[in-house]
Structure 1
Amino acid sequence: MKKLYSPRVLRAAFVTLAVAGSITAARADIKNYEFQLVGQTIHAGPDQTITVRLVNKTTGKAVPDAVIIATRLDMAPEGMQEMATKVVAVPGAEAGTYKFKATFGMAGRWQLSLGAKVQGETGTVENKLVITAQK
């Protein structure tokens, strides 16, 4: 009667599983990333700058070189999601921060919706941040 599995084959299979498991464990979950507002309030009016930081929640470190793929700024927190304004990306001052210019047509709470791809991760980071525009 022949052996179905030799010790060498079993050892190779276990090593392969261990290596594959460690590669998957090294990757972070896209849910471990979030955008944070640098300032919660802003003045109502044209050409206001919004600064956000993309952070890895497990390490607390800022994440540079993410690709912003979606932006939207509207007054959804005030029940006026149809009141949206254009958002333009501008260069950030430091690694891991992302800046945007927008016109805040009136005082109140505005929602900044962001989507980004993080280098080396699958999925999209999506956050909705509330900014208060003051007169």
Structure 2
Amino acid sequence: MKSKFSLHAAILGLGSLIAVSQAAKAAPEDYEFQLVENEIKQGDGATVSIRLIDKRTGNPVADAVVFATRMDMAPDGMETMTTPVEAIPSDESGVYRFKTNLIMAGGWRFSIAAKLQGETGTVESRLVLKAVE
């Protein structure tokens, strides 16, 4: 009888452990990219800084693997006007920096996608910024 009870308790404990570990996993919706600045000086060598936060805690998220970026002028009705984006080092945890050429003043859309270690799914965002003279 004792061994049957022990086995039952172990199965219940394992079930609880699995439920807790699944609850600890976050979904892509639990993370958010935010512009550090909404207005960026127009021109070649413009730097766009993006912060990635965990919305559940408000803490910055470091070490994301950014694998897709795109900068276009969709906010001003010119989605086909694009410019290259290059990742550059950042000295602030959870902040990702990119160098680009904002060739025109106006509205720009920065699309970004990243994977986070230990999480499933992809964190994606489309952020609108303004290039100013």
TM value normalised by structure 1: 0.91
For structure 2, the residue ranges without an aligned partner over 5 or more in a row are: none
The higher radius of gyration belongs to 1
Match of 1:86 in 2: 84
TM value normalised by structure 2: 0.92
Deviations 1:52-103 (A, max 9, x none): 1110011111001111010000011111110000000000121111000000
Match of 1:45 in 2: 43
Aligned residues: 130
Distance between the aligned counterparts of 1:79 and 1:10, measured in 2? 63
Deviations 1:15-70 (A, max 9, x none): 22111101111222221101110000012111100011110011111001111010
Distance between the aligned counterparts of 1:86 and 1:20, measured in 2? 44
Distance between the aligned counterparts of 2:13 and 2:91, measured in 1? 45
Q: Percent identity?
A: 45
Match of 1:3 in 2: none
**Post-superposition offset of 1:12:** 2.9
Residue 69 of structure 1 aligns to which amino acid in structure 2? Answer: F
Distance between the aligned counterparts of 2:55 and 2:122, measured in 1? 15
Match of 1:122 in 2: 120
Distance between the aligned counterparts of 1:32 and 1:26, measured in 2? 11
Q: CA RMSD of the aligned region, Å?
A: 1.1
